Amino acid sequence: MSIRGLKNEGKNKICIFYFSGTGNTAWAVGKLAEKLRVLDYAIKLIDCEDEIDFISEVECCDIVGLAFPIHSSYAPKLFQGVLNKLPNCKGKPLIALTTAGYMAGDVLWYTLKSLKSKGYVPIVFSNIIISNNMHLPVLCPLPVTKPNKLPKKLAKAERKIDKMVNYIEEDMLHIEGANPLGRLFGIMQRGIAGNFESLAFKGFYSDESCTKCGWCIKKCPNNNIQMDNKGVKFLGSCMICMRCYSFCPNHSIQMTMKTKNLKKYKRYTGPEGKRR
């Protein structure tokens, strides 16, 4: 089904606003941009950790894009703030992707439905399963994805991104997760997520191996980490993006004593082995 009616009016400019904790979503939007540019779309990728003039960015593009990782069937808190800042518009087409470790349910539909009343028109929503960046020492025994498993997973994710490009290019309406099964999964997961998180996750701390290099302070997307005379201190607005825990140069950031065991609690290495 054609929805934009723009197909014969030349290629469009797409601005994609994204957040990525450990690199999966950045990888996915990078691939999407690469593939759309080959088809002559003008793509601007906007990292939501930067200063953004939302009004002018939205005004000067033909299609708005959004991308974020799934956090228990929600968007990360920082990204929810981004959605609030998007200005009203008159019928601007909206494309979106989410990245997940295992399963994605209705998170795009649920998170972005409020944008309809701001005038955005959803056209393509795709869930890209990449790899898991999250483990918890209690209640959640699932490990993070190991580096040797990544090439196969990334190849599969890339095929999904190809499909997304095709929907955009062919001007086809494609909304994932808004079906009864996706809705049920999302409702169940959101229903238990808050309780589960407060039971299983008590926050991060830095252990005695911390060299006070300040890397985590610079990289925390929520400015939640500070240094005082005792060392690194975590404040109250962690959104569990997993960046500091995964990529601390010294592996000094812990959830509990258990996570000091790096063989058992291996850290996620990022999709291409690069630190965010």
Ligand X SMILES: Cc1cc2nc3c(=O)[nH]c(=O)nc-3n(C[C@H](O)[C@H](O)[C@H](O)COP(=O)(O)O)c2cc1C
Under the rule (CB under 6 A), what is the footprint of ligand X?
Answer: 20-25, 69-73, 99-103, 130-134, 189, 240-242
Q: How far is the CB of 59 from ligand X (least distance, A)?
A: 27
User: Least separation, in Å, of the C-beta of 226 and ligand X?
Assistant: 22
Residue 26 in tokens = 């950045």
User: Nearest distance from residue 238's CB to ligand X, in Å?
Assistant: 10
Q: How far is the CB of 132 from ligand X (least distance, A)?
A: 5
Instruction: Name the minimum Å distance from CB 24 to ligand X.
Output: 3
**What is 101-158 written as a DSSP string?**
SS--TTHHHHHHGGGGGGTEEEEEEEEEE-------SSS--PPPPPGGGHHHHHHHHH
Question: Which of 78, 80, 126 lies closest to 99 in space, CA to CA?
Answer: 126
Q: How far apart are CA 178 and CA 106, in angstroms?
A: 5
Q: Identify which of residues 21 and 93 has a Cβ nearer to ligand X in the complex.
A: 21
Count CB-CB contacts under 10 A for residue 268. 26
C-beta separation of 142 from 91 below 8 A: no
> Which residue lies nearer to ligand X by CB, 54 or 196?
196
Nearer to ligand X, 30 or 122 (CB): 30
- Shortest distance in whole angstroms from residue 172 CB to ligand X: 25
CB of 132 or CB of 252, closer to ligand X = 132
Q: Which is nearer to ligand X, 87 or 203 (CB)?
A: 203
Token pair for 244:
């500091």
Residues in the chain: 276
- Token pair, residue 264, equals 């058992």
Of the pair 12, 20, the CB lying nearest ligand X is at 20
In the three-class reduction of DSSP (H, G, I as helix; E, B as strand; rest coil), residue 235 is classed as coil
Distances (CA, A) of 253 to 154, 160, 198, 211, 247: 27, 34, 19, 11, 9
Look at residues 233, 239, 256 and name the one whose alpha carbon lies nearest to residue 197.
239
What number of helices (H) and strands (E) belong to the chain? 8, 10
State the minimum distance, in angstroms, from the CB of residue 161 to ligand X: 13
Q: How far is the CB of 98 from ligand X (least distance, A)?
A: 8
Quick one: 11 or 275, whose CB is closer to ligand X? 275
Question: Alpha helices, DSSP H only, in the chain?
Answer: 24-38, 54-59, 77-85, 107-112, 150-169, 180-200, 215-219, 243-247
Closest CB to ligand X among 143 and 214? 143
